[in-house]
Amino acid sequence: MIQIENYIDGKLVAPLSGKYLDNINPATEEVYSQVPASQKEDVLNAIAAAKKAFPAWSKTSVEQRIEYFYKIAAMIRDKHEELALAESRDNGKPVKLAMRVDIPRAWQNLEFYAKAMSQFHAESYVSNSSINYTTYNPLGVVTCISPWNLPLYLFTWKIAPALITGNTVVAKPSEVTPMTAYLFSQIVKEAGLPDGVLNILHGLGPDMGDTLVGHEDIKAVSFTGSTATGKYIANKAAESFKKVSLEMGGKNPNIVFDDCDYEKALKTTIHSSFANQGQICLCGSRIYVQKSIYDKFKNDLAEAANKLKIGDPTDSKTAQGAVVSKSHYEKILSYIEIAKKEGGTILSGGEAVEGKGYFIKPTLIENLDINCQSNQDEIFGPVATITPFETESDVIAMANGTRYGLSATVWTGDVNKAHRVASEIDAGIVWVNCWLNRDLRTPFGGVKNSGLGREGGKDALHFFTEVKNTCIQVENL
Ligand code: NAD
């Protein structure tokens, strides 16, 4: 049994309560590690350590911080396979997906922000009577809270811009997938990152959240997770006017026009609906297909979904692993039942795989009203709905008809139509003839109940810094 510990002030430490939670491998249902059930007192210790480390860390040169980042990134590369296996065992995702996406993205996040920081600089404005210079200064101690679907990927996506700009961090990965963050704490220790600069706490959100978010020494909160938790955090943070960045749920439309590259749209739609068992906030869970190709597209999609190999995440042929936990498995299955009651017709899947592990067959459902619960709520599993449409304006109204607005995908061969539709869709990110094509320099985030603020590129560097203008009066410049 692996015992995970918190990482506070450069030391791996047990939670003060001595209590641990079971960590279960969702593919086998076996408990294989113990996770600290941290409480307020553990959070206070982490905040104190981060506060103590801030003055020195914020004064280290940018070059020195960049050097740490490259060192840590190289160590992640060295442990590529170990980390991918750990991610799969915690989350249920295929090891090959973690090898190809999750772990490379973790080192890329560090390398990207190392490079970005070298281009992020003060500005100056000179006139004949004054010199103004605008600097971007670290905030102090910041909190980074991340979810379970892309554990190390999103953990590093947050802590990298926070640390590179000179802040010290108290980070809270999901209690459901703590393993790679725990391994990461060992990596940063070995890399020699100064004690207290990064502190990692494990445990249940509600046990720690009020202190992580509300404590007076926390200057900003960067959160990725569900809309319900994001709402709670935004309210709590507002009491002390903290900066908040929220990346939350999605119910993203995937719009297929009849003039698209059919084969490409079909192949990508299988991926965008079911990758990571549909547990990516950007998954296209509402598929809209133009009427003239609807029947063919839905049949081809259902056939392709039925062919996806489900099972042992360590098998290199597996396309679909287990969903993350028993409670999430039950939630997804309950939504399939809701969809059936709402009149939905199951075109593929629609049930769990018999036997051990939380496996659900890739499920495609049609005949649902666009306003019904299964078309409105984020299910966050291998479940997509499919609906025909006739005109551009019809599908724009359908696409915008939920409380979410994270991303959208548009498939068409007509660039003018692509531009028209993209501009009308309420979403922070629109992909045309592709999906999850990410350039880390671009702004990432959602509108409506999907998000507040943007991550990525300069946006994250701005979020984690306070801008200050200094004006010096000069004579006869
Ligand atoms: P969640 O909200 O349950 O948990 C996210 C994190 O918040 C976890 O670390 C959890 O422990 C913590 N938390 C829970 N309650 C808290 C509280 N009261 N105070 C402080 N922290 C608390 O979400 P989840 O189930 O882990 O993740 C799935 C959700 O994340 C989905 O809705 C998905 O769409 C969303 N997500 C969004 C993005 C994005 O970029 N928009 C990316 C990935 C996942």
Least confident of 17-21, 123-127, 400-404: 123-127
Question: CA nearest 386: which of 243, 261, 265?
Answer: 265
**24 alpha carbon – ligand 1 mean position (Å):** 18
Calculate how far, in angstroms, residue 128's C-alpha sits from the geometric centre of ligand 1. Answer: 52
Residue nearest to atom 35 of ligand 1 (CA): 225
Q: Whose CA is nearest to atom 23 of ligand 1?
A: 225
For range 405-434, the mean pLDDT = 98
Calculate how far, in angstroms, residue 228's C-alpha sits from the geometric centre of ligand 1: 9
Kindly indicate the confidence band of residue 335, based on its pLDDT and cuts at 50, 70 and 90. Answer: very high
Ligand 1 pocket, CB under 6 A: 145-149, 154, 172, 174-175, 205-206, 209, 212-213, 224-226, 229, 232-233, 247-250, 281, 378, 380, 406, 446, 451
Instruction: Identify the pLDDT of residue 333.
Output: 98
- What are 79-99's pLDDT values in tens digits? 999 999 999 999 999 999 999
Average pLDDT over residues 299-316: 98
Architecture label for domain 253-432: 3-Layer(aba) Sandwich (3.40)
Answer yes or no: pTM beyond 0.85: yes
Is the pLDDT confidence value at 311 over 90? yes
pLDDT value at 24 more than 90 = yes
Q: Does 253-432 match 2-248+450-470 at the fold level?
A: no
- Each residue of 138-182: pLDDT tens digit? 999 999 999 999 999 999 999 999 999 999 999 999 999 999 999
List the catalytic residues: 247, 281
Q: Quote the percentage of the chain above a pLDDT of 70.
A: 100
| Atom 26 of ligand 1, residue of closest alpha carbon | 147
Cβ atoms of 118 and 62 closer than 8 Å: yes
**For atom 40 of ligand 1, which residue has the closest CA?**
247
Could you tell me the residue ranges of all domains in the chain?
2-248+450-470, 253-432
Distance 232 CA to ligand 1 centre (A): 11
* C-alpha to C-alpha distance for 165 and 86, rounded to whole angstroms: 29
Q: How far is ligand 1, taken at its centre, from the CA of residue 227, in Å?
A: 8
Per-residue confidence band for 120, with pLDDT thresholds at 50, 70 and 90: very high
> How does residue 477 score in pLDDT terms, banded at 50, 70 and 90?
low
Q: What is the rounded distance in angstroms from the CA atom of residue 83 to the CA atom of residue 276?
A: 17
Which of 23, 91, 149 to mutate for ligand 1's pocket (most ligand atoms within 8 Å of CB)?
A: 149
Check residue 128 and give its pLDDT.
86
Q: Write the pLDDT tens digit of every residue in 216-256.
A: 999 999 999 999 999 999 999 999 999 999 999 999 999 99
Q: What is the pLDDT of residue 253?
A: 98
CATH topology of domain 2-248+450-470: Aldehyde Dehydrogenase; Chain A, domain 1 (3.40.605)
Query: What is the mean pLDDT of the segment spanning 93-118?
Result: 98
